[in-house]
A and B are shown apart, each in its own frame.
Chain A
């Protein structure tokens, strides 16, 4: 590292320095040595890169684990999928780590939500990545919100209502019906990026959709006894899930999106939960479970822990995730019967 800096330092002042001129001979020899070693390094890197590209797998980066899981289901063994956000992390607050720049620099495709969920951290990463394959509009930039009808698009942007998402609620993969569209979008883009494997992608898509359809019927059957019961959540995260499976989500522990719960607000929530007989509170790993416990203790409600994202990377992990949500919710209602 130091060597390289010195080298660029010298390049930086090549002129008019008397000292430089006096020691020109030895400087020159030093420079040649540096140049040779730089050239060796470059060759080495180029070779490594060539070797990497020879494997011909699509190098896919997904911003959050839900998109990674879907990409894996569609891509199968023709893709390598890396994820930026960890499954337990709050997807609104991911650090724009420099290592992500490297991942994006190497990527053939980026899969993002595209509904401003990643607005606080993805743009500087893409700026740094200098990867034209990921330019907006290219097949390598897959913004999954395209084709999804987003809910809760604010009529007017007003931050006194909390940290609203201007494009609408971005947590749309919690509804498997939306994910069908996402999977089709990803398969379509993968086909453009790697036409040779298109048949595989299409077959995987068919398999994924068929499985989703079977599971969907199963999930609806499991949840049928509790349909229509309102559910309390910490942040307004599960609205698409609630719409699909018919669980109105109209009460939140946060007084406004992104604003931590206040005693006054919680008191109101507790009163409403008691009067409307609401018995289930959904909490995610990155949220404060203690707050939910406080409310649960006073209302006799059950806390249901919902992982925000699929935890695995396998092709079945998206379906496994929804499966775990459905079962956890059913179990929660069952306890309060």
Chain B
């Protein structure tokens, strides 16, 4: 009994104590809240008065006729001199930014979220398309890249969130998450890339691990927003499918101790799924519950051993031809098993070259001329399928093709260019409905305007001729915007 009474007593005391503490806490918190509010108010007033001081003289809102005349004359004069653009919408003169009207203030007020003080770069980049094609469904035969404009009218096939930063002193981390709107406007999401990269391996080595674009040629490792055209090259989509070659695994690269740049890469990845199109990819359901690739029924098997992995070696070298000309070339391979039979293998080889000229006194990076060419060959060892609707024997499906593109940045913010695409393959027997095979070529002139580094407007025309579809014409308009801080691109 006594014990119980004691306990009750203690509980009561504890309760009381707690109540007191709570009251105290609330009191302190109220006081602090008041203090904060007072300070915020003070700060507000202070910044307001500062802003008022700093505010430049109001720009004249009504333009005098003389001024309008002057503007017109200037526009005409500037249009003649290269390197300026007279067609830009008017912007009123405010001195560049408000700080400048009091230029000598040595110390600056508090700064917010600068790139250097954040732990990572965060950016959002969207590519929006509008266009028309003579083909009713451009996605069927023409626009085979997953992030290409794929239908008449408007589409949005690539809105990506890119994150990157240092993980710790040993690794950097990268992630690219892509959202896209499908043909019925439902949102698709893909984890395009997620990998870490070593920063402190010895002997000039570097390791990448996770899901990443294979270092094959120039086009494959680039994200669509870095491309010079709205769509993927034809041969890239044939060798690597709509999504490009990207898979889960690791890649070791080595910077060779040569006097010129030489880097060797070896990627070892799972080589599975739609993002390893020509490898362990079961293909699509033919409607009867059987998955088929290149007409053959496929087997979705587990990894039996290293022979089922995908190996992607590459070597790249670069030379400074002159002070203003740079050349980089590379040879790549992708070797692995495919799903059309137990012993069936695919080999893809590629050669690429990129040349760029930029004068030493270029204005904001203009003018420049660049030339990029890539050739790719694929041997797909297709297995036999006697039970297919048309029985298929085992055969080597060989595809080859190339694209070559020239870009000319003729004045600041403006780039024009042209790309020629060609692809073909051996074709004893193949499905005439298969858009990824057969002879095809395409000519694509393009004009791009970059209002700033963070936005672009692109107009492209495609003249398309293919064995399966005859001649088609398409016109695409693409817009891009980029928010936030985005990691710089490689050369």
By a beta-carbon cutoff of 8 Å, the part of chain A in contact with chain B is: 1-2, 4-5, 8-9, 11-18, 45-46, 48-49, 86, 88-90, 92-93, 95-99, 101-102, 105, 116, 119-124, 127-130, 132, 135, 149-157, 159, 161-164, 166-168, 236, 239, 242-243, 248-252, 254-272, 285-288, 290-291, 294, 298
- Name the interface size band of chain B: 35 or more
Give Cα distance in the complex from A46 to B306, angstroms.
33
Judging by beta carbons under 8 Å apart, are A156 and B112 in contact?
yes
CB distance from B399 to the nearest CB of A (A): 19
- Tell me if B172 is interfacial: C-beta within 8 Å of chain A: yes
- Chain A residues within 8 Å of B257, by CB: 45-46, 48-49
Q: Which residue in chain B gives the minimum CB-CB distance to A288?
A: B83
CB distance from B327 to the nearest CB of A (A): 10
CB distance from A282 to the nearest CB of B (A): 15
Contact among A9, A101, A135, A265 for B313, CB-based, below 8 A: A9
- Chain B residues within 8 Å of A239, by CB: 103
Judging by beta carbons under 8 Å apart, are B307 and A15 in contact?
yes
Task: Tell me which of B24-32, B69-77, B294-302, B460-468 binds A.
Answer: B69-77
The number of inter-chain residue pairs (CB within 8 angstroms) is 269
Q: List 19 A-B contacts (CB under 8 A).
A: A1-B315, A16-B307, A88-B361, A89-B361, A89-B362, A98-B261, A98-B326, A99-B318, A123-B487, A127-B197, A135-B169, A152-B97, A243-B103, A249-B103, A265-B90, A268-B67, A288-B81, A288-B84, A291-B84
CB distance from A232 to the nearest CB of B (A): 12
Judging by beta carbons under 8 Å apart, are A5 and B255 in contact?
no
Judging by beta carbons under 8 Å apart, are A151 and B491 in contact?
no
- Tell me if B185 is interfacial: C-beta within 8 Å of chain A: no
Judging by beta carbons under 8 Å apart, are B116 and A166 in contact?
yes
- Chain B residues within 8 Å of A127, by CB: 172, 197, 199
Give Cα distance in the complex from A74 to B74, angstroms.
48
Contact among B81, B93, B99, B315 for A154, CB-based, below 8 A: B99
Q: A120-B488, A121-B488, A123-B487 are in contact. List 20 more A-B contacts (CB 8 A).
A: A1-B315, A8-B266, A45-B257, A90-B364, A98-B491, A99-B318, A99-B326, A102-B258, A124-B490, A149-B107, A151-B108, A153-B108, A154-B111, A156-B112, A168-B108, A243-B103, A256-B97, A264-B90, A270-B70, A290-B82
Give Cα distance in the complex from A259 to B453, angstroms.
10
- Tell me if B470 is interfacial: C-beta within 8 Å of chain A: no
Judging by beta carbons under 8 Å apart, are A256 and B93 in contact?
no
- Tell me if B328 is interfacial: C-beta within 8 Å of chain A: yes
Judging by beta carbons under 8 Å apart, are B305 and A90 in contact?
no
| A163-B453, A166-B116 known; A1+B362 contact, CB < 8 A | no
Give Cα distance in the complex from A267 to B307, angstroms.
70
Q: Which residue in chain A gives the minimum CB-CB distance to B203?
A: A130
Q: Which residue in chain B gives the minimum CB-CB distance to A293?
A: B81
- Chain A residues within 8 Å of B328, by CB: 98
- Chain B residues within 8 Å of A259, by CB: 91, 452
CB distance from B111 to the nearest CB of A (A): 5
Residue interface bits B37-50, CB-to-A below 8 A is 1, else 0:
00000000000000
Shortest Cβ-Cβ A-B pairs, 5 listed:
A268-B93, A12-B311, A16-B307, A98-B318, A290-B81
Judging by beta carbons under 8 Å apart, are B114 and A236 in contact?
no
- Chain B residues within 8 Å of A159, by CB: 452, 454
Give Cα distance in the complex from A11 to B259, angstroms.
26
Judging by beta carbons under 8 Å apart, are A5 and B313 in contact?
yes
Q: Which residue in chain A gives the minimum CB-CB distance to B95?
A: A250
- Tell me if B345 is interfacial: C-beta within 8 Å of chain A: yes
Judging by beta carbons under 8 Å apart, are B333 and A96 in contact?
no
Judging by beta carbons under 8 Å apart, are B101 and A250 in contact?
yes
Q: Which residue in chain B gives the minimum CB-CB distance to A252?
A: B96
- Chain A residues within 8 Å of B108, by CB: 150-153, 155, 168
Contact among A13, A93, A251, A288 for B311, CB-based, below 8 A: A13
- Chain A residues within 8 Å of B319, by CB: 99
CB distance from A99 to the nearest CB of B (A): 5
| Contacts of B304-331 to chain A: CB distance below 8 A | 305-307, 311-313, 315-320, 323, 326, 328, 331
Q: Which residue in chain A gives the minimum CB-CB distance to B334?
A: A12
Give Cα distance in the complex from A236 to B115, angstroms.
21
| A8-B315, A123-B487, A153-B108 known; A264+B255 contact, CB < 8 A | no
Q: Which residue in chain B gives the minimum CB-CB distance to A18?
A: B343
Judging by beta carbons under 8 Å apart, are B356 and A95 in contact?
yes
Interface-centre pick from B106, B266, B315 (highest chain A CB count, 10 A)? B315
Contact among A124, A128, A149, A250 for B100, CB-based, below 8 A: A250
- Tell me if B387 is interfacial: C-beta within 8 Å of chain A: no
- Chain A residues within 8 Å of B491, by CB: 95-98, 124
Contact among B85, B114, B200, B312 for A260, CB-based, below 8 A: B85
Q: Which residue in chain A gives the minimum CB-CB distance to B482?
A: A159
Judging by beta carbons under 8 Å apart, are A12 and B313 in contact?
yes
- Tell me if B113 is interfacial: C-beta within 8 Å of chain A: yes
Contact among A92, A128, A153, A263 for B86, CB-based, below 8 A: A263
Give Cα distance in the complex from A186 to B19, angstroms.
61
- Tell me if B3 is interfacial: C-beta within 8 Å of chain A: no
- Chain A residues within 8 Å of B488, by CB: 96, 119-124
Judging by beta carbons under 8 Å apart, are B197 and A155 in contact?
no
Give Cα distance in the complex from A54 to B454, angstroms.
47
- Tell me if B145 is interfacial: C-beta within 8 Å of chain A: no
CB distance from B3 to the nearest CB of A (A): 63
Residue interface bits B474-491, CB-to-A below 8 A is 1, else 0:
000000000000011111
